[in-house]
Structures are given as C-alpha cells and as structure tokens.
Amino acid sequence: MSTALAGGAVLAAGTAQAEPAPTPDAVKEQVDRLNEEAEQSIERHNGFQEKRQRLQGEANRIQDEVVRGQEAMNELRTRLGAVAAEQYRTGGIDPSVRLMLDSDPGGYLAKASAQNQVLDSQAALLAQARSEQRRLDQDRAEAAATLAELDAAGTALAAEKKAIQGKLAAAQALLNRLSAADRAKVNAQDAAGRASRATARPAYDGPATGRAAAAVRFAYAQLGKPYVWGATGPAGFDCSGLTGAAWRAADVKLPRISQDQWKTGLRVARGDLQPGDLVFFYPDLHHVGLYIGEGKMIHAPRTGKNVEVLPIDVMPYVGAVRL
C-alpha cells in the first residue's frame, strides 16, 4: 500500500510539474514581442557602431596632430638649445661693463646689435614654443577624451549585441517548442514561400520618377533577400540598412539608423504619400520602410524573414519623410 501511495505521489507530482504545450498563437505573441525588442536593440546597435566608427576616425586624426605637434616641439627645442648655447658662450658680463672694457667700442656695439637680434629671435622662438605646447596639450587632452568616449561606445556596442543575441535566442527557443507545422505558421514563411519570394522580383514600373524611382527600383530588386541585423547589403539588410541602400542607389546618402533618417528631408502627410517616401513605425521610430504606392511598402521585417511588400497598416504608423 505504501508503494502504491508513493507511486501515486510521484505520478501526481509529475502531473503537477508537466507544462502545457504552448499554443501557436501564444508563441507568436511572445516571439513578435521579442523580435520587436530585438529590432529596437538593433537600431541602437547600429547607432553605437556608427558612433564608434566616427570616433575612431576622430581619434586617428587627433593622434596624427599630436605626433606632428610633438615633432614641431622637438624642432623648436633644438633651435632654442642652439640659441642658449650661443648666449652662454658670449654672455656672462654686464653689457655696460663690457662696453667700457672693450678696446674697440664700435666693434662691440656692432656685436651688441647682433646679440639683440639673437635675443629677439630667442623671444620669438619662446613665444612659438609656448603656443605650440598649449596646442599640443589641448590635442592630447582631446585625444584622451575621444579615446575614452570610443571605449564607452565599444562597451555599449558589445552590450547591445549581447542583448540582441539574447532576445533572438529566446524567440528561437519558444519556436523550438512547437511542431514544425506550427513553427511554419508562426513564422508565416515556410520553405516554399522563401523560395518564391527569393525568385519573384518584379521590376518597378510605377509613377515615381528621378531619384525616387531609382530608390524604389533598387528596393524591388531586393525582394526575397533575408533580414540580417546590422546589414546594409548586398546579401541581406535590416530595416534602415535597406532604406539607406535604396536611396544610396539614387545617389542620396542617408544616416545609418531609422531615428536619424526620420530627421532628413520633409515631413509628408499620410494622404500625400508618394513612392520613394520613407515610412516610419512605432513611437520610438525603430522601424522604417520604403513606400511604393497603394498603401504598401517594401521593408526588411525581422530576423527569420525576408525583404517583402507589406501594407503600411500592419504596424503602428508614425509618419513619413520625403527626400
């Protein structure tokens, strides 16, 4: 009887500890949330990466200036040393006493005039040296501050990368708990869908002209390519990487991240949207796409999906910018 009771207790404990299988809808909701959080981190990561690259360029420039400034100081010190040595050889007696003792006062006055010129030259060299030293000290301080900022940007970049990887891993772990069929439903992107989108890349023949048409044509050519976070092409893109590459094809350089792209060009009312306009989503503007007309856009959605055409109504629309 005790064995039976023990077995029943074990069975009850096992039943109590068993977790119910997650439903595809519940998993999709959690995966969507994790992917949205990951995309927010991705745009921050892109911003830190751009900042680090800029700071590295500034640090290199300032350090080159420090090297040149030190070389100039070394040359000035050499010249000042020569002047000081000459003074040591000819100095030591008060000029008025030397004039009285000199057997050739005229010759001495000529030498004194030359000596005054040397003193004037020394004063000019000293002033130049002081100015150069101040500049060198400023450059060194600026270099130290820039390198400290560069180090902080690198730390932030690594932290954002870790956060992105953690969110994507958590999303994948949720998906792995589903059956293959349910996983395909959640992703809404099975193998056949990926293959068709990868090969079906219609050319743009809409109403846009000029640079806007060039940007939209480029975006159409990227349909089916995978979302790759941090990527700006040509094999894959994240959202701002795609819009930046599209307008780069039209000889327009955009900032790297979506929040900065929002600050370019002119704001456009939703009712006035035209192909080529940048369309932005979510209150923090962490997602951007390229409007193509008829209420649709081309965008790079998220990890696990490909560049696609989607109505702009599927996400919280914030506004648009025309370049």
Q: Report d(CA 94, CA 322) in Å as an integer.
A: 79
State which H helix or E strand residue 95 sits in.
Answer: helix 95-101
Q: Is 287 a catalytic residue?
A: yes
| Residue count of the chain | 323
Asked if residue 108 lies in contact with residue 168, where contact means CB atoms within 8 angstroms, the answer is: no
Q: Is 299 a catalytic residue?
A: yes
User: Looking at 299, 305, 320, 321, which residue is catalytic?
Assistant: 299
User: Looking at 34, 212, 239, 273, which residue is catalytic?
Assistant: 239
- Composition of the chain by helix, strand, coil, percent to 5: 65, 10, 25
Find the radius of gyration of the CA atoms of the chain. Answer: 35
Cis peptide before 301 (omega within 30 of 0): no
User: Looking at 167, 287, 302, 305, which residue is catalytic?
Assistant: 287
Q: Is 286 a catalytic residue?
A: no
For residues 197-223, one letter each, b for 16 or more C-beta atoms within 10 angstroms of the residue's C-beta and e for the rest, the string is beeeeeebebebeeebbbbbbbbbbbb
The residues annotated with a catalytic role in the active site are 239, 287, 299
